[in-house]
Amino acid sequence: MRIAYFDCIAGASGDMILGALVDAGLPMDTLHAELAKLRLDEFKIVEQRVVKSGFSATKIEVLVTDKTPSRHLPDIERIVMESALAPSIKKQAVEIFRRIGSVEAAIHNVPLEQVHLHELGGVDTIVDVLGVLIGLDALDIEQVVVSPLPLGRGWVQGAHGKIPLPAPATLALLRDVPIVGSPLEAELVTPTAAALLSTLATSFGPIPAMTLHQVGYGAGTFDLPIPNLLRVLIGSAPDVLSATTETLVMLETNIDDMNPEFYEHLMERLLDAGALDVFLTPAHMKKGRPASMMSVLCRPDDANRLTQILFAESTTLGVRQHHVTRHCLPRSIEEVETPYGVVRVKVTRWDKERTRIKPEYEDCRHLAEQHGVPLREVYRAAEMAAQHLVR
């Protein structure tokens, strides 16, 4: 599996992402040839080697002669869909521009089809978005992971006047994305970059495990107190069967002074609040005290809420938090008919030739009690009934 990790040192913009991909090995000839399929003649791409705070990087600039001040979303979609680009690239591009259009429509309270995409409807933005998609495809990137995005403060001039930073469109596009504040007064993440990264990323967080092959640096326009760069790390990782990979959070706390009867209630509350898994591990603490380490696996967005539940419902005084990478097999829930009734079965697809089935415990238990038969008989009947799913 080919992975691209975007390390947003000083934020991100469309031209910084594209510059990083070119710096990492995207041939300019390939980029020019593919962008020519847009049938837009009002632009020229210039590649430069620049130095930002001592770091050599690639600066991509889109020089535009197009005089169109703004475009509606249908205009942009028409440009994309009438191009000769690959269908997968066109589909991703339309999705990105529709996300941009949707947040702009909400901000200005107008229908999606009527929203004017001013700064985001120019040829340079269209080229940035399509250029990044072309680059990822040309470099055979199968998975995109992104670092938390730094957001600066200040003001930027827009079509309607001064806009506070972070720009409203950027914030709307980064909903459910990890962000961190920056003391810099500058637009560190543009709406174009926010739309690209939030759409393309499979996860956000630290650098994933991979064998590193290429590193590229894309330069921003302005000189900042820190290197105004975006860095891309391209590497490979072995496919873990047909699993998807995601970055999750593990919460951990050691408890040695709580009534054990309270654990069931605490675990139920955590699971109801979004925890993916909760488990206890025996521990031996200082002064010879036996204890239990409670581990809570969750998505990053749920970590704070679940931490508050741990503080409220247990005797802990502190909770540890760290990111973990999870490889997760695809699964589905099917229903099978047994002599005792309908049982739900979890079907896990391991690869093209291997499938696992597991009857749902609660269904089997309920039918065993209803019919007065051993649980294992219902369980075995469900397994037999599900054999056709394996084949």
Tell the residue number behind the tokens 């047909």, with chain if given. Answer: 242
Confidence at residue 268, expressed as pLDDT on a 0 to 100 scale: 96
- Spell out a b/e string for 315-324, using b for 16 or more CB atoms within 10 Å of the CB, else e: ebeebebeee
Confidence at residue 70, expressed as pLDDT on a 0 to 100 scale: 66
CA angle 147-151-153, nearest 5°? 170
Cis status, amide bond into 166, omega within 30 of 0? yes
Query: Which residues partner with 181 through β-bridges?
Result: 151
Q: Is 313 helix (H, G, I), strand (E, B) or coil?
A: helix
Q: Is the dihedral of CA 143, 15, 32, 56 positive or negative?
A: negative
- The amino acid at residue 295 is S
Distance of CA 108 to the CA centre of its chain: 27
Query: Which residues partner with 248 through β-bridges?
Result: 324
Structure tokens at 326: 């999870």
Kindly give the residue spans of alpha helices, DSSP state H, lying in the chain: 14-23, 28-35, 73-81, 87-108, 123-138, 168-173, 191-200, 262-272, 303-313, 361-371, 375-385, 387-390
8 Å CB contact between 89 and 130: yes
What's the pTM? 0.70
Confidence at residue 110, expressed as pLDDT on a 0 to 100 scale: 75
Structure tokens at 343: 């049982």
Run of H or E residues at 339: none
CA gap 140, 25 in Å, rounded = 11
Confidence at residue 326, expressed as pLDDT on a 0 to 100 scale: 84
Strand order in the sheet with 277-284: 277-284, 290-298, 244-255, 320-328
Per-residue pLDDT 10s for the chain (391 aa) are 899 999 999 999 999 999 999 999 999 999 999 999 998 888 899 999 999 999 999 999 998 887 665 678 888 899 999 999 999 999 999 999 999 888 888 877 777 766 666 545 578 889 999 999 999 999 999 999 999 999 999 988 766 678 899 999 999 999 989 899 999 999 999 999 999 999 999 888 888 888 999 999 999 999 999 999 999 999 998 765 556 777 889 999 999 999 999 999 999 999 999 999 999 999 998 888 899 999 999 998 899 999 999 999 999 999 999 988 888 888 889 999 999 999 999 988 776 667 888 999 999 999 999 999 999 999 999 999 988 877 6
* Torsion angle in degrees (nearest 10) through CA of 174, 180, 183, 186: -20
8 Å CB contact between 206 and 139: no
* Torsion angle in degrees (nearest 10) through CA of 168, 174, 178, 184: -40
Tell the residue number behind the tokens 């970590």, with chain if given. Answer: 303
Structure tokens at 320: 């540890």
Structure tokens at 91: 């589909």
Please report the domains of the chain, with CATH numbers, ordered by start residue: 2-236 (no CATH), 244-328 (3.30.70.1380), 331-390 (3.10.20.300)
Query: Which residues partner with 347 through β-bridges?
Result: 332, 357
